[in-house]
Amino acid sequence: MPSFTMNASDPKILHVDMDAFFASVEIRDDPKLAGLPVAVGGRAEDRGVISAASYEARKYGVHSAQPTARALELCPDLVLVRPDFERYTRASRLIMEIFRRYTPLVEPLSLDEAFLDVEGCERLFGGAEEIGHAIKRDILRETGLVASIGIAPSKFLAKLASDLDKPDGFRILRAGEIRDVLDPLPVSKIFGVGARTARRLEALGVTTVGDLARRDREDVMREFGASGAWIYDLAHGIDPRRVNPRREEKSHGMERTFPTDIDDRERLRLMLYEFCEEVSFDLRSRGLRGRTIAVKARFWNFKTVTRTKTLDYPTNLGARIYATACELLERVPPGPLRLLGVQASSLEDVRTPNQNQLFGDGDLNVPADDVRLGRAVAGIDRLKKKFGGDAVVPASLLARKAARSKEGAR
């Protein structure tokens, strides 16, 4: 028996991927847009990028992560919509709820994408195929949106399957047909094969998944080390990763590309302040705190640097994150920036038990200032939740908030 059947049992993993999610939400909520090339993204004048494109827009070559200016060149009639993440999040929550009706093993990958493991749910809801159809139907009926679903014995194959018949796809990969489906695909379809690995593989005469699968495992490992074993196994459809419903968020951050390059450090610091306030508020509302703070800066010439610092204790206070971010910004070489971002990582639950210290002077201790600030911030958070995010704004950001809401009204 060929080795790929060794790990391949019955298909039981679903990969559900919403079709052109943001764009579809926009079209659903504004039927005038139906049939038009629609893209969600920032304005070209602001050097925005496309977040999502409808299938009509994709026909012109518009795709996500593309600069809006380029998208408009390709498709002058493109209808550009500014993103409204609140509505996308609401739709996403509904969809995730639908998944959880069928199985508790749901691993969200993003707002519009998730892995589901339906093993053991057969007696309740029928086999994977039936569950897949039911989910697709529920999503359409309850959210008015279309999902593509891939069903396979492993995560890698399920994700591949959902992509095969997109949009409005529904594809089951059974053990017997894996080889036929995998072989003709380009190696870059393998998770973990990026542009560089693909180039190296091509130099060895490997361009398709089939080429890779036919090689000797030892040879691939010699060439690429441990990741060689990984991509070789994937080429055989072997993917031991399980669906992990409790996958923890590893980092949380925010970044922004500016309409024009900014060199003024004072303005950049103000921007950081705004990001830190926002990031810390998100961390607090999700009951998390982070220990590592990173600042990312992209220069006018696209050269990108990141500077990181690990704190002595984890925090979710805007002021603490901001103070650290400012230190880190000092370590970014001078020059006009087109993008700036801040990120908190090494996240932990705020309910993580805290060992109290005997002596207040230890560096392991959270400073008394932070404890006091934490209490004040908890009060402010309550106000924000009751009266809206702009109810309490740091004085130094008042001007920015006003400017932004005017901009939004335009």
Partner 1 sequence: MKVLCDRERLREGMTLATSVIPVKSTRPAIENVLLTCTDDSLELVGTDLEVALRYRLEDVKVEKPGKALVPARIAADFIRDLGGETVCLEIENEHCVITSGPDRCELVTIDPDEFPVVDRFDDEGSLSIQGGNFTKLVNRTAFAAAREQGRYAMHGILTLVEDQVLRMVATDGRRLAVSNIALETGGDSTHKAIVPTKGMQLFCRVIGDPLEQVRVHFGTNRIGLKTSQAEVFARLIDGEFPRYSAVIPEAGATVIEADADLFARKLRLVANVTSQDTRAVRLSFSKGEMNIFGKSTGYGEASAQMEVDAKGDAEDVAYNPDYLMDGVKNCEADIVRLEYNERTSPGKFTLGENYTYVVMPITIDS
Structure-token pair, residue 233 = 């196994």
At which residue do the structure tokens 């559900």 appear?
A: 16
d(CA 183, CA 214): 10
Taking the complex as a whole, how short is the minimal distance between the CB of residue 355 and partner 1, in angstroms? Answer: 5
d(CA 234, CA 224): 14
The smaller minimum CB distance to partner 1, of residues 1 and 352, is found at 352
Taking the complex as a whole, how short is the minimal distance between the CB of residue 354 and partner 1, in angstroms? Answer: 6
Structure-token pair, residue 155 = 């995560």
At which residue do the structure tokens 């589901």 appear?
A: 116
Contact, 318 vs 326, CB < 8 A?
no
Taking the complex as a whole, how short is the minimal distance between the CB of residue 344 and partner 1, in angstroms? Answer: 17
d(CA 277, CA 393): 9
Integer CA distances (angstroms), 208 to 182, 194, 371, in order? 8, 14, 57
Contact, 16 vs 171, CB < 8 A?
no
d(CA 382, CA 281): 11
Contact, 328 vs 294, CB < 8 A?
yes
d(CA 155, CA 195): 22
Structure-token pair, residue 221 = 């490992």
Q: Identify the active-site residue in 56, 113, 274, 277.
A: 113
Active site residue 113: yes
Taking the complex as a whole, how short is the minimal distance between the CB of residue 342 and partner 1, in angstroms? Answer: 23
Taking alpha carbons only, the member of 243, 231, 248 closest to residue 154 is 243
CA dihedral 148, 153, 157, 159 (to 10 degrees): 30
DSSP string, 66-128: SBHHHHHHH-TT-EEE---HHHHHHHHHHHHHHHHHH-S-EEEEETTEEEEE-TT-HHHH--H
CA angle at 297 for the pair 296 and 299, rounded to the nearest 5°: 155
- Give the footprint of partner 1 on this chain (CB under 8 A): 350-359, 361-364
Q: In 168-278, where do the E strands start and end? A: 170-172, 251-262
Say if residue 234 is exposed, middle or buried (CB neighbours under 10 Å; 0-12, 13-18, 19+): buried
What is the chain's Cα-based Rg? 24
Taking the complex as a whole, how short is the minimal distance between the CB of residue 370 and partner 1, in angstroms? Answer: 12
State the catalytic residues.
113
